[in-house]
Amino acid sequence: MHRLVRLPLFAAGLLAAGLLSCSDSMLESKVDPLSQLDDRLTLQGRVCTRPPSPSGFPVKVVVVIDESGSMCVSDPPGAQLDSGFCQRAEVQAIIPPGVTEPARVRALKRLVAQFREVNAQGGNVQVSVAPFETNVRNVWPPSTASERFARPDTNIDSYIEGLQSQLGKGTDYQGALSYAYGIIASDIQKVSTENPELLPRTRYVVVFLTDGTPYPRCSATDNLSVYASPDNPDLTWADSIVSFCNATNTTDQIDGFEIGTDRNQNYQLFSYVRRLMELKDQYNVGDVRMHTVLLFNQEAVRACGPICQEIYGIYPGVPQAQYPEAAKKIASWLLKRFAEMGNGVYQEFNDTSEISNLGLGALDYSSFASRNVMKNLVVESLSSLPSLEARIVDSDGDGVPDEQDNATALKTNTFLRDSDGDCLNDGFETRRADQGFKAANHRDARGCDVRNADGTCQCRDTDGDGLYQSEENYLRTRSQLVDSDGDGMPDSLEARWGLDPLTPNVAGLDTDGDGIPDDMELRSGSDPTRRDKAFFDKYGYQYETRIAEVRPDGSICYDFTITNLQLVSPQERSGSRQGFNAFSVWFAEAPESGVATDYGVWTNACAWAQYAPPSVRVPVGPELTFAPNDFISTSNLPSPWDDQDRCIGTRPSGGTR
């Protein structure tokens, strides 16, 4: 690593005196020691993460529970809303003595009690229950509620108690999976709009519990030579009820089913599981998974006799006595595939004893709650830009060097970031000139005119990432996130150099091909779009960080040192003095459990240093030191010019802190 060796001022003077004694010509030269002012600044200090908060890591559980009439055989007792199947003598005869509550009801009660205990200790588990038979109905929270997930309060207990008396007829897997996908997808969309930072910290869990195969199944093609069977369950299934699948007038209609089309075919079911899992990467969600549970009491089904054949399936070529075994084989194959695709666990309970001990609490509902650690520390000069040989002056920090601001062709203001008042930064517009942007004397309609009398235009930066709202709208970055793609770099730094702030690839790209990854160039203050390795080696910012303290509340403090920050001499502003350099220091923290994908919680500190050779260097020594409380939230973050008091060092307007 390139390091600078600095001599104290008095030592430098002694060394100079020794050299001067070597020749008469050197003795005759008079060097003003003040002209040799050190132009490198060191920023150092301490910054601390927030204490961990388990409530900020939601776990959202969808329990998809089979409420078909066959449940009073597999997991008795039970009663249907509009049929006497469960009350038939053949069914009543197979209820074990003393059983008054289905195992699934007991298991669900224990599960929500477990979740309530987690929440009482600061966790954040939310639940949605989706009972299904011919259709999904009687959901919790109620369909009239504004939210599809809720923390399981005591009101859910009576709801669960009532499930056993609300059995229906069909077992429409497709509708159940569609519903589960829909509520999770809509919840993700809502969070993405309102609190996108929560998505990488959220786990969505689907628990799919059933006692049999999809029913009914329909095929749009009725003349295939071969259909699926227990030994070949991956083929197309024939109509399980021909009259239902093909008749124009039927009862117990499945919502959304069109007569003569496919229903509950494997490809349809798998597509919902696949789409569910794709949500994780599409929206940078912490985790999405699907567990499956099969209750299948073969002895009870066999004891039920012929009246259960239609419910559990009739299989050509399979002896009648083996129908229960065939149905179990098909259901097991399908649910195992769901769990494999859903990165989950498959469980099966096969007889009265196993089903009576059904439990759901051992499945993975863990949250991503963990202590917060450093994700990134980045310093940005707001007064200079890299060139091939050294840093050059950019007095207003807009990304346009002063020498270009003063050029006749550009006509931008040296001391205004937005010369034409359209809420589009001069550097933003200059870099995108090929897209029709002009930095001066042209208020672009893609921005807004701050001089409008109606007051609707305000140059806001709601998340404090350094981009105006108009710029975020154009780039399609998120106005609530400093780092829209979660790659550890503020959107403004990527946008300044024309990098992609929506794709988390800054660590994997070397845009200019100079052998230095883009993220290293951004941190070092060099140009990731120009081959400037010589500049990087000589003028690149250098970082050292270490854990200084782990506090009792779980927060972590880091000591940092950033060296080799070259000072420049910005022009004198009206009412201020020459040579003030502004620096912004970004600090991002993220949960230790998901640093790579988390958007991070960002804070920012700033510093002023004055450099006006041959006589002015403030601070005299190389360092400025930050305290933890110098780092503030970036929400509506004011710039150092708008709020000089928040910065350490000697300010242009006078005063020091």
| Coil, helix or strand at residue 318 | coil
What pLDDT shows up at residue 1? Answer: 40
pLDDT bracket for residue 459 (50, 70, 90): confident
The percent helix, strand, coil of the chain (3-state, each to 5) is 30, 20, 50
What pLDDT shows up at residue 81? Answer: 74
- Contact indicator for 369, 359 with CB cutoff of 8 Å: no
Q: Measure the CA–CA gap between 120 and 307, rounded to whole angstroms.
A: 47
Angle between helices 266-282 and 323-341 (to 10 degrees): 20
Report the percent of the chain where pLDDT is more than 70: 91
pLDDT bracket for residue 36 (50, 70, 90): low
Is the pTM higher than 0.85? The answer reads: yes
Chain-centroid distance, C-alpha 401: 36
With a cut of 60, say whether residue 181 has pLDDT above it: yes
Token representation of residue 356: 């009576």
pLDDT bracket for residue 220 (50, 70, 90): very high
Topology of the domain comprising 54-215+267-356: Rossmann fold (3.40.50)
Domain boundaries of the chain, sorted by first residue = 9-52+371-649, 54-215+267-356
pLDDT bracket for residue 276 (50, 70, 90): very high
Report the percent of the chain where pLDDT is more than 90: 63
With a cut of 50, say whether residue 488 has pLDDT above it: yes
Question: Bigger pLDDT: 19 or 209?
Answer: 209
Mean pLDDT, rounded, for 220-249: 88
What pLDDT shows up at residue 15? Answer: 31
Q: Measure the CA–CA gap between 264 and 175, rounded to whole angstroms.
A: 9
How do residues 492-508 score in pLDDT, each as one tens digit? 999 999 999 999 999 98
Cα distances from 374 to residues 4, 149, 174, 482, in angstroms, run 26, 32, 44, 15
Token representation of residue 291: 């567990």
- Contact indicator for 461, 636 with CB cutoff of 8 Å: yes
SS3 string, 357-368, reads CCCCCCCCCCCC
How do residues 113-153 score in pLDDT, each as one tens digit? 999 999 999 999 999 999 999 999 999 999 888 899 999 98
| Alpha carbons within 13 A on the beta-carbon side of 580 | 27
Q: Measure the CA–CA gap between 589 and 378, rounded to whole angstroms.
A: 12
Q: Measure the CA–CA gap between 145 and 160, rounded to whole angstroms.
A: 17
How do residues 282-330 score in pLDDT, each as one tens digit? 999 999 999 999 999 888 888 887 777 767 778 888 888 888 889 999 9
With a cut of 50, say whether residue 6 has pLDDT above it: no
| Coil, helix or strand at residue 173 | helix
Most confident of the following: 57-66, 240-249, 426-435, 460-469? 57-66
Mean pLDDT, rounded, for 462-477: 92
What length is written for the chain?
657
Helix runs in 21-153, H state only:
24-28, 71-74, 89-92, 103-120
Instruction: Give the bridge partners for 288, in sequence order.
Output: 204
Q: Measure the CA–CA gap between 209 and 71, rounded to whole angstroms.
A: 11
pLDDT bracket for residue 476 (50, 70, 90): very high
pLDDT bracket for residue 28 (50, 70, 90): very low
What pLDDT shows up at residue 574? Answer: 62
- Contact indicator for 264, 146 with CB cutoff of 8 Å: no
